Structure 1
Amino acid sequence: MTVRVLFVCLGNICRSPMAEAIFQRLVDDAGLSRRIEVDSAGTSAYHVGELAHPGTRRVLSRHGIAYDGRARQLAPGDATNGKTYFIAMDAENAEVLRDRFGDLPHVHRLLDFATHTPVHDVPDPYYTDNFDYVYRLVEDGCRGLLAAIRTDEGL
């Protein structure tokens, strides 16, 4: 059975595509790309069809991670597509997920899995341009998330 991981933020151009790209790299490096499917979406339709923010693309590129995905909005099918871990970038995103889809079994904030930060919400770099800081938070959360999924799913 394939496990699906869907990263969610507001517009799907900064935080969630960054998390998608970082997590995909970790999954590939662990040899789990046939077992874990990775995607991202936004709670809003503000940026549907757009490339990731230039700041996200820049910081990913500096870390040797390619990303050419385009923003999309959450769809009803996202909640009915097998076993899905919904990974919100902040509490507001998690609340939107619960409002739209009800009581899903696997809704978490990414930084619930981080081990090197007391921060709970990934700040939106769209307004602060702090993409390097956000990258460090997201990478920490993604490493912890992969470890948790490997344990929970016996991978």
Structure 2
Amino acid sequence: MVRVLFVCLGNICRSPMAEGIMRHLVEQRKLSHVIEVDSAGTSHYHIGEEPHHGTMRILRHNGISLSHRGRQFGKIDQQNFDYLIAMDRQNRRDMQAVLGANGAEVRLILDYIPNGVKGRDVPDPWYTGNFEEVYAMLHTACNALLDEIVATKR
């Protein structure tokens, strides 16, 4: 089983959106029996809360359902997940601080986009309000990540 964890600040906008998109793609490719997906936040701000209404709206608009409650990223996650994926550089730094110097590798989601600009952040729609732009970025990146997982697990 390959386990993927997406992480943003509050776990109500970007990371649950990525979780929903990735689960949908995994189901479409009939890989649910070998790939599990979850999301978390680096902060404690929204523990137990449902995803932001903007996230839910854009997911529903694209035929994706999601049942999720916010949770906080912790050191134990490096033992439970094969892929630790941050939405931006600050979240990656916060995750690495939790994991310590010898912690697991944390990658940025947009680094998976072929020919993309490495080190690029997914803008936070909590502040920008642009859930459509974030959805497009995450959809492209999740497809590329899934391609990589499939290629490396053959």
Q: TM-score, normalised by structure 2?
A: 0.93
CA distance, structure 1, for counterparts of residue 116 and residue 130 of structure 2: 16
Deviation for aligned residue 1:105: 4.2
Deviation for aligned residue 1:116: 7.2
Q: Which residue of 1 aligns with 2:127?
A: 127
Task: State the AA in 2 paired with 1:137.
Answer: M
Aligned residues: 152
Deviation for aligned residue 1:104: 3.8
Deviation for aligned residue 1:96: 1.3
Where do residues 77-116 of structure 1 align in structure 2 (5 Å cutoff)?
Answer: 77-81=76-80, 83-102=81-100, 103-115=102-114
Deviations 1:37-83 (CA, angstroms, capped at 9, x unpaired):
100000000000111000000000000001121111013321222x5
Deviation for aligned residue 1:32: 1.0
Q: TM-score, normalised by structure 1?
A: 0.92
**What RMSD over aligned residues (CA atoms) do the two structures have, in Å?**
1.5
Gaps of 5+ in 1: none
Gaps of 5+ in 2: none
Identical columns (%) = 48
Are the equivalent residues in 2 in contact too, given 1:48–1:73 (CA < 8 A)? yes
Are the equivalent residues in 2 in contact too, given 1:117–1:137 (CA < 8 A)? no
